[in-house]
Amino acid sequence: MVVVCGKEVTGTMNTEISMADRLHIICTTLDGLVQIKESK
């Protein structure tokens, strides 16, 4: 799982997100994790 922290996505982060997507690795943000936790 890749968790993106912060509001700004840099070029390096974008490369890592793209690679994770190609490898079918889950990508989310801290906000997304909070929403998941709150829905339980």
Q: Domain span at residue 34?
A: 2-39
Q: Check residue 36 and give its pLDDT.
A: 66
* Pairing status of strand 27-29 against strand 2-4: parallel
At 28, is the secondary structure helix, strand, or coil? strand
Domains in the chain: how many in total? 1
pTM score, two decimals? 0.69
Q: In angstroms, what CA-CA distances link 4 with 10, 21, 23, 24, 34?
A: 11, 13, 17, 16, 13
Per-residue model confidence as pLDDT tens digits over 15-29: 999 999 999 999 999
Start-to-end C-alpha separation, the chain: 20
